[in-house]
């Protein structure tokens, strides 16, 4: 695997795997972010196979494990599950989401989680965007990309959201370190002057 210590807040390269969890179709998208430059690496859809739930989950596990081995991301992001009226459907989606979080964690990746509205607001600018708007904005941010379908577009949007938030938190951390140093230096100067 690649160096997982890369911090995009400092302008270093970061490869991000975005995952849109689903039991039938699990979208995935890999981007590389370096400073403000973002490059598409790959995207697709894992389609579950098997007669029963355990086989379908294992199928998703194996496919996602292969994607991580092939693309070697440094970090991953998964969309949070929303609860709907169909309790059984929500439970199954939660199990697929468990696979989406387990596989990257097992590979030693940190896993970010984002609410659907947060992803939409970050990528489109509004929290209640539809699939067409997400697809359009992903294509604008990744010129020339060929998207494997709506689930892959959502996964790329999740990766873009994670890259954006990682850059922001990296800048914040750097500012806090700088402020802490300045504060320590000011205290030292005050103590020196008092002595």
**In 3D, which of 76, 79, 104 has the Cα closest to residue 94?**
79
Q: Classify the C-alpha dihedral 24-46-68-13 as positive or negative.
A: negative
Q: Nearest Cα to 23, choosing from 88, 67, 75?
A: 88
* Nearest by Cα to 62 from 20, 125, 106, 93: 106
Q: Are 26 and 48 in contact (CB under 8 A)?
A: yes
Known active-site residue 79 = yes
Catalytic residue among 32, 79, 135, 154: 79
Selected catalytic residue, list 74, 135, 151, 154: 151
**Which one from 20, 32, 74, 154 is the annotated catalytic residue?**
20
> Nearest to residue 142, comparing CAs of 42, 62, 23?
42
Is residue 86 part of the annotated active site? The answer reads: no
Asked if 66 is an active-site residue, the reply is no
Among all residues, which ones are annotated catalytic?
20, 79, 151
């Amino acid at each position: 695997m690649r160096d997982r210590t890369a911090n995009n807040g400092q302008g270093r390269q970061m490869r991000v795997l975005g995952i849109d969890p689903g039991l039938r179709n699990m979208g995935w998208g890999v981007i590389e972010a370096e400073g403000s430059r973002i490059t598409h690496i790959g995207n697709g859809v894992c389609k579950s196979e098997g007669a029963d739930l355990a086989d379908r989950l294992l199928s998703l596990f194996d496919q996602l494990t292969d994607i991580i081995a092939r693309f070697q991301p440094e970090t991953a992001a998964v969309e949070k599950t929303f609860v709907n009226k169909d309790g059984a459907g929500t439970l199954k989606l939660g199990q697929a989401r468990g696979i989406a979080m387990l596989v990257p964690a097992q590979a030693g990746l940190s896993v970010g989680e984002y609410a659907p509205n947060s992803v939409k607001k970050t990528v489109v600018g509004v929290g209640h965007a539809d699939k067409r708007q997400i697809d359009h904005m992903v294509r604008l941010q990744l010129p020339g990309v060929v998207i494997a379908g709506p689930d892959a577009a959502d996964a790329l949007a999740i990766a873009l959201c994670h890259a954006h938030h990682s850059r922001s938190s990296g800048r914040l951390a750097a500012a806090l370190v700088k402020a802490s140093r300045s504060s320590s230096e000011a205290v030292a100067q005050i103590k020196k002057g008092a002595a």
